[in-house]
Amino acid sequence: MVKQRRHWIPLRQFYRFWLFLIAVLAIGLFQLGTGGVPIKVGAIPVRVAEAEVIQSQPARQPARQEVQPALPPLQSHPLPDSLVNWQNPADSSDYFDAITPTPVGYLVWSRFPIQVYVQPGEVRAETAVLADDHPAQLWDEAVQQAIQEWNLYLPLALTSTADQADIIILRAAPPLQSIRPGHEPLVDRLPRVRSAESRYEILLRHPAPPAAAPPTLIHRFTLHITPNQTPAYTLATARHELGHALGIWGHSPIASDSLYFAQVGNPAPISSRDVNTLKRIYQQPTRLGWALTHAIQPSSEATQPLPTENLPN
């Protein structure tokens, strides 16, 4: 009898073969779940289709192109009649070269009368009115006189509502202003106490609904005038600050002008040079008072603030 010789696979090789096969399957499953890199399981190529991956994700929406509003171009407004009729042949000089235009042009008003709000003084419950010589009453009279003086050259009107005002006059000292180190002597590196400050802010005035017109670029002034001055100096200060608020965004180098850069012992009234300068300013182009090029979504308020600037005195 011929005995056939059987070839048995050694047990160790048999285990190695199954371990290798299990490892290949495990690697393949891992690759399938982490990105679709082409692999081979045994002799069969496997690939995760990119189209299927894309379809399994939410479709990407194209970025919405928002239309940004463009500032109105620089344009000149018609001169108000009060300035059209103004002239002083005896003195035609001015200090227009000292006036600083802003990023929106010159700070001119185009809607008249300009609405002015004056913060009232505190009245105690036991008194119905303030005495004629009460400091709050004297401050109010001085500010009212300054308004009347400028009203000869630009139409002004008092309003009892601050929200509706173009110019807000506060019965308060301006905030302390710190001095930057390195710009003053060491002994002067303390907050400066000032008697007044003029500050403006740029706003967007939206038309009343349902109008779809673009908003108009406007500005609003806030004046701080300290109540701790004599009536004469309060008048001079109010006259000076109102000059800034009406458009004279700078100072005169001559002490005989009300917009002189320093306080003097005998304050000057509104001079011909002040009015000549004001008239030249109102002949200049500005972006204020003109509508933006594109309409934007209005806010819940009628006006929307933009950056501010201030001019301390």
CATH number of the domain enclosing 270: 3.40.390.10
Confidence (pLDDT) at 188:
40
Say what the pLDDT of residue 3 is.
36
Do both 93 and 52 map to the same domain?
no
Shared domain for 104 and 192, answered yes or no, is yes
CA-CA distances (angstroms) from residue 131 to 30, 135, 147, 225, 229? 91, 9, 22, 21, 18
The yes-or-no verdict on residue 216 having pLDDT over 90 is yes
Query: Higher pLDDT residue, 65 or 260?
Result: 260
28 and 169 belong to one structural domain: no
Instruction: Please report, for residues 24, 107, 117, 213, 292, the alpha-carbon distance to residue 218 in angstroms, rounded to integers and kept in the order given.
Output: 74, 9, 17, 15, 11
**Which is more confident, 92 or 15?**
92
Mean pLDDT confidence for 264-282: 97
**10 Å Cβ neighbour count for 234?**
25
Q: Within its chain, how far is the Cα of 81 from the centroid?
A: 31
- Whether residue 294 sits in one domain with residue 151: yes
- Is residue 108 situated within a structural domain? yes
Q: Does 241 share its domain with 146?
A: yes
Tally the residues of the chain. 313
Segment 67-85 shows an average pLDDT of 89
The SS3 call for residue 224 is strand
- In terms of Cα–Cα distance, which of 162, 155, 147 is closest to 113? 155
Q: Average pLDDT, whole number, for the chain?
A: 77
Does residue 96 sit within a domain?
Answer: yes
Kindly indicate the confidence band of residue 21, based on its pLDDT and cuts at 50, 70 and 90.
Answer: low
Asked if 16 and 93 sit in the same domain, the reply is: no
Looking at residue 57, its pLDDT comes to 33
Q: Mark whether 27 and 95 lie in a shared domain.
A: no
Same domain (yes/no): 139, 275: yes
- Nearest to 204, CA basis, from 310, 92, 72: 72
Q: Which of 37-51, 80-94, 182-196 has the highest mean pLDDT?
A: 80-94
At 99, the pLDDT band (50, 70, 90 cuts) reads very high
Task: Kindly tell me if the per-residue pLDDT of 184 is higher than 90.
Answer: no
User: Is residue 37 domain-resident?
Assistant: yes
Ranges 40-49, 113-122, 234-243: which has the least confidence: 40-49
pLDDT score of 1? 36
The reply to whether 21 and 164 lie within a common domain is no
- Would you say residue 71 lies in a domain? no
**Would residue 61 count as lying in a domain?**
no
Instruction: State the pLDDT confidence band at 176, using cuts at 50, 70 and 90.
Output: confident
Q: What gap in Å lies between CA 40 and CA 281, rounded to an integer?
A: 82
Q: Considering only 17-26, 137-146, 265-274, 294-303, which range has the smallest mean pLDDT?
A: 294-303
> What is the number of structural domains in the chain?
2
Of the candidates 238, 253, 250, the one whose C-alpha atom is nearest the C-alpha of residue 278 is 250
Residue found by looking up tokens 């000149």 in the block: 76
Residues 6+ apart with CB under 8 A from 261: 251, 252, 253
Domain co-membership, 28 together with 159: no
Is the residue at 65 inside a domain? no
79 or 188: which leads in pLDDT: 79
The answer to the question of residue 6 being in a domain is: no
pLDDT band at 208 (very low <50, low <70, confident <90, very high): confident
Residues 24 and 155 in one domain: no
Identity of the residue numbered 105: G
Q: Which domain holds residue 136?
A: 81-176+185-312
Mean pLDDT over residues 70-79, rounded? 95
| Local confidence band at 128 (pLDDT 50, 70, 90 cut-offs) | low
Share of the chain above pLDDT 90, in %: 55
- Integer Cα distance of 271 and 78 in angstroms: 23
d(CA 184, CA 61): 57
Beta strands in the chain (DSSP E): 39-41, 44-46, 114-118, 156-158, 167-171, 196-205, 216-225, 303-312
Confidence band for 11, pLDDT divided at 50, 70 and 90: low
**123 or 276, which is more confident:** 276
Check whether residue 242 and residue 277 sit in a common domain.
Answer: yes
Residue 295 or residue 81, greater confidence? 81
Axis crossing angle, helix 135-150 with helix 231-245, rounded to the nearest 10: 40
Is the model's pLDDT at 45 over the cut of 50?
Answer: no
Q: Is residue 64 part of a domain?
A: no
Across 47-51, 113-117, 230-234, 235-239, least confident range: 47-51
